[in-house]
């Protein structure tokens, strides 16, 4: 199937698809994530939609099965289906996720349910701390399962670095600092604001994107430095006063 060069090109089709399925129960369709910003890479970046339904319709998603499958064949990720009540009740539990949605999104159809979102700094700090601690444990465990092999370490780095960019956005929001669109700029700002070394994170991003190839020894040293900076960041956030 044809590669989607510009996600905006499919807005009319996506809208028609879900209006046909859900009718008046369809409240919003929102494109969020890299596909809504400058980081979008056709054929590589995910195309993510948030679809807001009425309380009654959210329990009848089976009607969307065929269309979700059809769009997946065009590399459109399975949408997140939510209700307005679910979002309102989840801002204290998942502030990072909703903050990152609000940072990068385009309205496709209906009501803009993200515009008025606000985030309690205490909730945001707590989730940042919890996520960093959890990722640190998973990285240590994951490394022991790589057997020291370059390919497996590279995969571990690639699967983890994107999550840290999301956490970094939350940290910048806590500092009251404007969050840049570019991921490398986000890393640089967090390093500046929290006095950590950005170098391991930048190298990890290069590994994920295939921009640079490192030897087994080099990639092991990068991973070790990566872990050290994550641990340092956890210690800083643990003492951070709001």
Mean residue pLDDT of the chain comes to 94
- The end-to-end CA distance of the chain, in Å, is 50
Mark whether 79 and 160 lie in a shared domain.
no
Mark whether 212 and 158 lie in a shared domain.
yes
Biggest CA pair distance of the chain: 58
pLDDT score of 179: 94
Mark whether 129 and 158 lie in a shared domain.
yes
- 2 pLDDT above the threshold of 70: no
Tell me if the pTM is above 0.85: yes
Mark whether 222 and 126 lie in a shared domain.
yes
pLDDT score of 149: 94
Instruction: Say which CATH number the domain at 201 has.
Output: 1.20.120
Mark whether 87 and 168 lie in a shared domain.
no
Mark whether 133 and 91 lie in a shared domain.
no
Mark whether 223 and 125 lie in a shared domain.
yes
pLDDT score of 188: 97
pLDDT score of 212: 87
Q: How big is the CA angle at 159 (ends 150 and 205), to the nearest 5 degrees? A: 75
* Residue 88 maps to a domain: yes
* Residue 116 maps to a domain: no
* Residue 115 maps to a domain: no
pLDDT score of 194: 97
Q: Indicate the pLDDT class of residue 141, thresholds 50, 70 and 90.
A: very high
State pLDDT tens for residues 196-241. Answer: 999 999 999 999 988 888 999 999 999 999 999 999 999 999 999 8
* Residue 157 maps to a domain: yes
* Residue 227 maps to a domain: yes
Full strand arrangement of the beta sheet holding 105-110 = 80-82, 48-53, 26-32, 105-110
* Residue 43 maps to a domain: yes
Mark whether 127 and 105 lie in a shared domain.
no
Report residue 29 CA to chain centroid gap. 18
Report residue 50 CA to chain centroid gap. 13
Domain with 48, as residue range(s), is: 7-110
54 DSSP 8-state letter: -
Q: Indicate the range of 30-39, 88-97, 185-194 predicted with least confidence.
A: 30-39
Instruction: Say which CATH number the domain at 96 has.
Output: 3.30.460.10
Q: Indicate the range of 37-46, 64-73, 163-172 predicted with least confidence.
A: 37-46
pLDDT score of 1: 55
pLDDT score of 195: 97
Counting the structural domains of the chain, the total is 2
pLDDT score of 182: 87
Mark whether 125 and 234 lie in a shared domain.
yes
Mark whether 130 and 222 lie in a shared domain.
yes
Mark whether 47 and 90 lie in a shared domain.
yes
Q: How many residues does the chain have?
A: 242
Mark whether 106 and 134 lie in a shared domain.
no
pLDDT score of 38: 73
* Residue 1 maps to a domain: no
Q: Indicate the pLDDT class of residue 100, thresholds 50, 70 and 90.
A: very high
pLDDT score of 43: 78
């Amino acid at each position: 199937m044809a590669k989607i060069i510009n996600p905006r090109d499919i807005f009319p089709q996506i809208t028609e698809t879900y209006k046909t399925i859900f009718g008046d129960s369809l409240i919003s369709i929102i494109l969020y994530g890299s596909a809504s910003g400058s980081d979008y890479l056709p054929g590589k970046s995910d195309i993510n939609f948030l679809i807001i339904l009425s309380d009654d319709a959210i329990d009848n998603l089976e009607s969307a099965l065929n269309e979700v499958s059809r769009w997946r064949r065009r590399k459109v990720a399975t949408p997140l289906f939510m209700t307005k009540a679910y979002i309102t009740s989840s801002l204290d539990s998942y502030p990072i996720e909703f903050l990152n949605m609000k940072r990068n999104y385009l309205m496709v159809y209906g009501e803009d349910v993200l515009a008025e979102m606000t985030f309690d700094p205490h909730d945001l700090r707590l989730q940042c701390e919890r996520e960093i601690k959890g990722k640190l444990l998973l990285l240590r465990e994951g490394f022991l399962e790589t057997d020291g092999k370059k390919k497996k370490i590279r995969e571990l780095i690639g699967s983890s670095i994107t999550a840290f960019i999301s956490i970094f956005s939350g940290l910048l929001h806590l500092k009251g600092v404007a969050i840049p669109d570019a991921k490398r700029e986000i890393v640089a700002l967090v390093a500046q604001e929290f006095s950590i070394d950005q170098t391991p994170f930048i190298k990890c991003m290069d590994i994920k994107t295939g921009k640079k190839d490192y030897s087994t020894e080099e990639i092991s040293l990068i991973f070790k430095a990566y872990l050290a900076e994550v641990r340092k960041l956890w210690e800083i956030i643990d003492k951070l006063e709001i």
